[in-house]
Each structure stands twice: as structure tokens, then as C-alpha cells.
């Protein structure tokens, strides 16, 4: 992962000019008596990446964020989202060992639970992965209020991009398009032949049909296994992630982080790539992303007396989005959108079931006639 190793180096470069500026300030303070303390304070704030940004929010609350969004100065919003935005859709967190998902995998006789997402294991034994894929198949879930909040941001021309760690495709179901999305851990939306010399692409309908007929999906050209484009352990993140983050983050006016504990790299370090003046709102069940003292900086700071741009709203993602929508005067619009879209998905499901049972009935009839 050569491009990922670029991350820390880049941050180090960014720190240097400020470091010089800050040492100038501290030499001016020498007469104050607290010189050593000030020097240490400056040293720490330099390493924590604090103190050099402009204060954009009037207050570090959800209301402060809403006022800023209404000011007309906030035109490029980036969302960073994780498993927490899909839990209310009923989707368990794939990778977290605490969800009990791994415990359910015993029936597949895996050597160890993570093997199900490992390339080497998959190559020899693709069956457990596809059995799990059937159980957790994306199309069986509906996007959440939070997904539709991002769709509203798009409709209002405010969403620059959504960086998601989720592979459930609910952002697409909610109406975000390929260009609006960075699916950092890949997606079920497309699949590719596992053979490096072939790599033929398959679409979602093709893969769905294979998964639900309990077939191991095999390439029509070369008979190798076909794998959904989700990023397995040890695999590179999509090129698009590394290309677009370089232009998206420096131009971001507001970073909204939802439903992620910011523990998986390189995704987590994205929060430090926005400008020092860019406000960052975290909507999550707990605070996340704060810097450790040994970090290079750029971590979240909600509570220190130097905090000036980070807001934590501790709640479910759906409740947080509803509260923000309310402050923006969008609540009725958001609720209407969710209601309308969920009804549409339900009626499509029903249609599919009807067609499915008609086809089954026709097949049964044909068989009876034989
Ligand atoms: Zn092939």
C-alpha cells in the first residue's frame, strides 16, 4: 500500500511552517515569566495541530453548526461515515468482533473468524463468504434517516462527497451517485473475476442471482471465482480514495463524521486533512478521533480550552441528523423523503416477490405438464 504510507509524511510537512511561526511568538513572550510553560504549551499545540485555525463557528454546538450551514459560507460538505449509520437499518457491523456476527460464523468451520474476509482463504474456500453474503445481502435493507439526510445535502448542492467505510450500498439506494461516493472499503455494487489475467466485471443483479441460487459465482469467460469488489483484509483501498482525498479535503467547508469510531486507517486519519479552520461535527454514540499526545496532530478536540472547531453530538446517527435537520428548517422535508422512499422500496420488493412467485408458479406448472 504505497500511497497509504504517504499519509504521515505529508502531515509532517504541513506542520513545519507553523512550527516556525509559533517559535517566533514564544520568543516574544519571554518577558512574561511563564515562558517555559508557554513554550511547552506552544510545543504541544503545534504537535496537536491546534491554535492556528480561524474560529468559524459562533458556538461549538449543533446549533452553531446549523447557523454556519445557513450562513451561505458553507458550500463544500464532506461526510465520513461508518457502520453506525447502518445499524438502524438492521445491518450488523461486519468487521467488529463485538457484534456477535463472528460467533454466528461457527457453522462454516473457519480456522479463525477473520479468515472469511482474507484473500488466501477465500481463494481456496469461497463458500463461507458467499453464505454470509446471502445472509447479509444488501438489497434486503432500507437506507436510514441519516442516509437520506446526505441525499438532502446533495439535492441542496452542499455535498461535495461522502466517504463511506460501509459495503452495504445503502448510500446508492438512498440516491447518492457514483460520483458522490468514495466507497473506501469497496462495495457489493460491482464484482470482478478473481483471476488477475481476466478481471471481467459483473454487475449487482448478476451477483445477486448467483448468491441467492447458492451457486459459487464463476466467471463466464475463465471459470475463476467472481468476488464482489469489497476490500478484504490486506487488500489495497480503491485508487479513487487516494486520488480524490487530495483535492476534496483541503477544499472542505464542513466535515460531518457519522457512525464511526475512527479507528480504521487510513480512513481515520482523513479528519486531519481538512484545513485548520474547517469545522468538524461528529455524530456518534461516543466521542472519537481525539489525538493522543504522541500523534502528529489533527485529531479531534471537543473539550480542551483550546477547542475551537470540533463539535460532538452524542446520539444515534438518525437522531443527530433529525436534530440538525430541525435546526436547519429541513425536518419536515427529511421525514417526507424517508417516508416516500421507504414506500417506494417496499412496493418494489412486493413487485419482485410477485414476479418471483409468478415465475415459480409458472415453473411448477411447466414441470407438472412434463
Ligand atoms: Zn474470468
Distance 217 CA to ligand 1 centre (A): 11
pTM passes above 0.75: yes
Distance 223 CA to ligand 1 centre (A): 6
Q: How confident is the model at residue 324 (pLDDT cuts 50, 70, 90)?
A: very high
- Does the pLDDT at position 6 exceed 60? no
CA–CA distance, 290 with 298 (Å, rounded to integer): 9
310 marked ligand binding residue? no
| Helical (H) or strand (E) element with 57 | none
CA–CA distance, 114 with 165 (Å, rounded to integer): 17
**C-beta neighbour count of 133 within 10 angstroms:** 21
- Which pLDDT value is given to residue 367? 62
Q: How confident is the model at residue 27 (pLDDT cuts 50, 70, 90)?
A: very low
198 marked ligand binding residue? yes
- Which pLDDT value is given to residue 117? 86
Q: Are 284 and 314 in contact (CB under 8 A)?
A: yes
**Average pLDDT, integer, range 114-130:** 89
* Residue 185 among the catalytic residues: yes
CA distance to 20, 274, 308, 345, per residue, from 62 (Å) = 34, 19, 14, 31
CA–CA distance, 185 with 267 (Å, rounded to integer): 9
326-350 per-position pLDDT tens digit: 999 999 999 999 999 999 998 887 8
149-168 per-position pLDDT tens digit: 999 999 999 999 999 999 88
Share of the chain above pLDDT 90, in %: 53
CA–CA distance, 258 with 255 (Å, rounded to integer): 10
214-268 per-position pLDDT tens digit: 889 999 999 999 999 999 987 889 999 999 999 999 999 999 999 998 988 888 8
- Does the pLDDT at position 313 exceed 70? yes
CA–CA distance, 64 with 323 (Å, rounded to integer): 13
Query: Which residue ranges form the domains of the chain, and what is each CATH number?
Result: 55-89+144-185+240-344 (3.40.50.1220), 92-140+187-230 (3.30.1600.10)
167 marked ligand binding residue? yes
3-class state of residue 62 by DSSP: helix
46-93 per-position pLDDT tens digit: 455 555 678 999 999 999 999 999 999 999 999 999 999 998 888 766
What residues flank ion ligand 1 with Cβ within 5 A?
193, 195, 198, 200, 219, 221-222, 224
Distance 169 CA to ligand 1 centre (A): 24
Catalytic choice (125, 147, 185, 342):
185
Distance 229 CA to ligand 1 centre (A): 14
1 marked ligand binding residue? no
Amino acid at each position: 500500500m504505497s500511497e497509504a504510507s504517504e499519509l504521515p509524511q505529508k502531515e509532517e510537512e504541513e506542520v513545519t511552517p507553523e512550527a516556525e511561526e509559533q517559535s517566533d511568538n514564544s520568543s516574544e513572550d519571554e518577558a512574561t515569566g511563564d515562558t517555559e510553560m508557554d513554550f511547552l504549551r506552544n510545543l504541544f499545540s503545534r504537535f496537536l495541530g491546534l491554535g492556528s485555525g480561524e474560529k468559524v463557528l459562533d458556538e461549538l454546538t449543533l446549533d452553531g453548526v446549523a447557523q454556519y450551514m445557513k450562513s451561505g459560507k458553507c458550500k463544500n460538505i464532506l461526510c465520513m461515515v461508518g457502520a453506525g449509520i447502518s445499524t438502524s437499518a438492521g445491518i450488523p457491523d461486519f468487521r467488529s468482533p463485538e457484534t456477535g456476527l463472528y460467533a454466528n460464523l461457527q457453522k462454516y468451520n473457519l480456522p479463525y473468524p477473520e479468515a472469511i474476509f482474507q484473500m488466501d482463504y477465500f481463494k481456496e474456500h469461497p463458500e463461507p463468504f458467499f453464505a454470509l453474503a446471502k445472509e447479509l445481502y444488501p438489497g434486503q435493507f432500507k437506507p436510514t434517516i441519516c442516509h437520506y439526510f446526505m441525499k438532502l445535502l446533495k439535492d441542496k448542492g452542499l455535498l461535495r462527497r461522502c466517504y463511506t467505510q460501509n459495503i452495504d450500498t445503502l448510500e446508492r439506494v438512498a440516491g447518492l451517485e457514483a460520483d458522490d461516493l468514495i466507497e473506501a472499503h469497496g462495495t457489493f455494487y460491482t464484482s470482478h473475476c478473481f483471476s488477475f489475467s481476466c478481471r471481467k466485471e459483473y454487475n449487482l443483479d448478476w451477483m445477486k442471482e448467483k448468491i441467492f441460487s447458492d451457486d459459487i459465482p464463476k466467471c463466464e469467460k475463465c471459470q475463476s471465482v467472481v468476488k464482489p469488489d469489497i476490500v478484504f483484509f490486506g487488500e489495497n483501498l480503491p485508487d479513487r480514495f487516494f486520488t480524490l482525498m487530495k483535492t476534496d479535503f483541503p477544499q472542505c467547508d464542513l466535515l460531518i463524521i457519522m457512525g464511526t469510531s475512527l479507528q480504521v486507517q487510513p480512513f481515520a486519519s482523513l479528519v486531519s486533512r481538512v484545513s485548520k479552520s474547517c469545522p468538524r461535527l461528529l455524530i456518534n454514540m461516543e466521542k472519537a478521533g481525539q489525538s493522543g499526545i504522541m500523534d502528529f496532530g489533527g485529531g479531534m478536540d471537543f473539550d480542551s480550552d483550546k477547542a475551537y472547531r470540533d463539535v460532538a453530538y452524542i446520539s444515534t446517527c438518525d437522531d443527530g441528523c433529525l436534530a440538525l435537520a430541525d435546526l436547519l428548517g429541513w425536518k419536515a422535508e427529511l421525514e417526507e423523503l424517508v417516508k416516500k422512499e421507504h414506500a417506494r422500496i417496499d412496493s418494489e420488493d412486493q413487485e419482485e416477490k410477485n414476479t418471483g412467485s409468478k415465475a415459480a408458479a409458472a415453473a411448477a406448472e411447466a414441470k407438472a405438464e412434463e
